[in-house]
Amino acid sequence: MVGLVVTKPAGTAGAYDIAVVGGGLAALFVADALADHARVVVCTGGKSPKPASSRSLGIVAQGGQDSPARLALALGEAAASAYWRWSGAAVALLLERADALGLAAQRSGSWRVSMGAEEWGEWQSSAELIRRWTEDAGSVLSISGQELVSRDVGQGFEGAVYVPTDGVVDPQALLGSLESGLQGRASVLATRVAVGDALADGTKRLHMETGETLECQLVVVAAGWGSAAVHPWFRDMLYPVRLQGLRTGTLSERRLEAPVLARHRFESWLQEPSGQLGFVGCRWAEQPEMEAGVTDDTVISQEVDARQRGFLAQHLPGVLDCGVVDQWTGIASVSCDGLPLVGPIPGDPRILALCGWGGWGLSLLAQAAMDVTSMALGRDDPETPSFLTPRRML
Ligand SMILES: Cc1cc2nc3c(=O)[nH]c(=O)nc-3n(C[C@H](O)[C@H](O)[C@H](O)COP(=O)(O)OP(=O)(O)OC[C@H]3O[C@@H](n4cnc5c(N)ncnc54)[C@H](O)[C@@H]3O)c2cc1C
C-alpha cells in the first residue's frame, strides 16, 4: 500500500496531490476515480502517437495474451486462477461503467478460436481450468471447427472455446464521456511530461514540454508505450508493438454475434453494430518479430495488409467482397513478460505504474485503475495479483 501524503494547502498554484500521466483510457479511468478525493492534474501528452485507446476495436475479453493453461504452467494454477478472476472483474467493471455512462455495452461473450491442433489442445485444457474456476461452468463451451462453420464463426479453425462473460464497448465514446466527466474535477494539461529529481521532502517534480514544472506527491504513469519517456525505470520494461486494423463495408447479413480472438489473441475481429467487420492483428506466427519495436502509427504496412486480407479470405470468405473502407494502426505497450504493470515501481513508492497491457489494455485497465486508486489513497490493499506488481521485475 502506498498511501497519499497531502502536504500542500489546497489551491497552491502548480501543486497537486496526484499527477496522472497519459490521455488514454487508463489515465482517464484512474483520474476519474481519484478526482473527488485529491487535487489531480492529468497530463495527456502530445499529438502523436495517438492514444491506443482511440484505435481499439472495443473487444473486452477476460484473461491475457497467454491462455489460462499456459499461464498455469508458467506460474501455477493458483496464480493463473487469480489472474483469470482479476481480469474477469476488469471486464465486468468496464462493461458496468459503460452502462452507467449510457454507452450501451454489449455482453456478447467471445469465441477463442484455435488455428492448429497444438493450440486447440492448449485451449481445451484452458476450458477445463476455466470451468473449474467458474460458477456457471456449463456456459463455457468447447466446440469443434466443423461446428464453428455451421455457426458461421469462420472456417479453417481447429476448434473454439466460448467465454460468456466477454463483451464489446465503444472505446471512442468511453474516451469522450470520461474526458468530459473530468471537467471541473481535475486539471487537464495537453503536455508531455517527464519525472525529474524530487524535492528534499520527497515532493515529485514533473517537467513539461514548455519548460515549466509541476509539483505533486504521487505520480501515476499511464502513458502507454510513452511511459518509457516519463520515468527511466520503464525504459527496459516496455516495448512497443504496432497493431494494424481494417474495416470492411457493411456485410449483407449479420454473420457474427460475438467477437472472435485467434492465435493467442494476435488476431481479433467483430461485426460492429453498423454491420461492418472490424479486424485487428499484429505479429504473425511465422514472423513473430513483425511490427515489434515500431512506433510510427501513421503508416499502413502493405505487408501486414496482405497478410490480413489473406487471413480473411481463408477464414471468413466473402467479407472482403464488401471492400475495405478504413485502415489504421496503433501502438500497444507490451511488458517484458507480457503481463501488466500495476502498482509502485521498485525503489519509489510514489511512482505508480498503470501500463504494459500487451495489446489488451481495454479489457484490463478498469480493475487495474481501481487498484491503483486504492493504493494512491492508502485504502485497504487491493486484490491485485502479486505477479502484476512492478517489483516482480527485480
Ligand atoms: C489497433 C488496436 C486495436 C485494439 N483493440 C483492442 C481491443 O479490442 N480490446 C482490448 O482490450 N484492447 C485493444 N487494444 C489495446 C488497447 O487499446 C490499449 O491497450 C489501451 O487502450 C491502452 O490504454 P492506455 O491508456 O494505457 O494507453 P494509450 O491509450 O496508448 O494512452 C497513452 C497516453 O499517454 C500519453 N503520453 C505518452 N507519453 C506521454 C508523456 N511523456 N507525457 C504525458 N502523456 C504521455 C499519450 O499521448 C496517450 O494519450 C487495441 C489497440 C490497438 C492499437
Atom of ligand 1 nearest to the CA of 333: 19
Look at residue 96 in the predicted model and tell me its pLDDT. 97
Taking only the tens place, the pLDDT of each residue in 254-275 is: 889 999 999 888 899 999 999 9
In this structure, the residue with its CA closest to atom 50 of ligand 1 is 56
Taking only the tens place, the pLDDT of each residue in 232-250 is: 999 999 999 999 999 999 9
Confidence of residue 8 (pLDDT cuts 50, 70, 90): very low
Query: Collapsing DSSP states into helix, strand and coil, what is residue 103?
Result: coil
Q: What percent of the chain has pLDDT over 70?
A: 96
> Cell numbers of 204, please?
515529485
Q: Is 278 left (phi over 0), alpha (psi -120 to 50) or beta?
A: beta
Least confident window among 118-132, 143-157, 293-307, 310-324: 143-157
Task: Identify the CATH number of the domain defined by range 1-106+168-237+336-394.
Answer: 3.50.50.60
DSSP state letters, 288-312: TTTTBT----S---HHHHHHHHHHH
Query: Which residues have a Cβ under 8 Å from the Cβ of 234 and sit 6 or more positions away?
Result: 221, 227, 228, 341, 345, 353, 355
Mutate to test the pocket of ligand 1, among 57, 301, 333, 351 (most ligand atoms within 8 A of CB): 57
What's the rounded mean pLDDT across residues 195-202?
95
Question: Could you tell me which CATH class the domain 107-167+239-335 is placed in?
Answer: alpha beta
Mutate to test the pocket of ligand 1, among 237, 238, 360, 367 (most ligand atoms within 8 A of CB): 360
What's the rounded mean pLDDT across residues 180-206?
96
What's the rounded mean pLDDT across residues 368-378?
96
Taking only the tens place, the pLDDT of each residue in 297-330 is: 999 999 999 999 999 999 999 999 999 999 999 9
Rounded distance from Cα 27 to ligand 1 centre (Å): 10
Confidence of residue 17 (pLDDT cuts 50, 70, 90): very high
- CA–CA distance, 159 with 200 (Å, rounded to integer): 60
First to last CA, the chain: 18
Identify the residues whose C-beta falls under 6 Å from ligand 1. 21-27, 43-45, 51-53, 55-59, 192-193, 222-224, 226, 229-230, 243, 245, 268, 280, 330, 332, 355, 357, 359-363, 365
Q: For 282-292, give one letter per residue: b (16+ CB within 10 A) or e.
A: bbbeeeeebbe
- CA–CA distance, 155 with 63 (Å, rounded to integer): 24
- CA–CA distance, 218 with 45 (Å, rounded to integer): 18
**Which of the pair, 357 or 152, is modelled with greater confidence?**
357
> Cell numbers of 169, please?
464497448
Per-residue DSSP letter, 382: P
Task: Give yes or no for residue 362 having a pLDDT over 80.
Answer: yes
Which residue ranges does the chain devote to CATH 3.50.50.60? 1-106+168-237+336-394
Atom of ligand 1 nearest to the CA of 329: 1
Task: Give yes or no for residue 78 having a pLDDT over 80.
Answer: yes
Task: Give yes or no for residue 285 having a pLDDT over 80.
Answer: no
Phi/psi for 221 (5° steps) reads: -95, 105
Task: Give yes or no for residue 9 having a pLDDT over 50.
Answer: no
Rounded distance from Cα 24 to ligand 1 centre (Å): 5
Which residue ranges does the chain devote to CATH 3.30.9.10? 107-167+239-335
Look at residue 148 in the predicted model and tell me its pLDDT. 86
Least confident window among 2-11, 65-74, 289-298, 367-376: 2-11
Instruction: For helices 77-100 and 171-181, give the axis angle rounded to 10 degrees.
Output: 70
Look at residue 264 in the predicted model and tell me its pLDDT. 83
Rounded distance from Cα 328 to ligand 1 centre (Å): 14
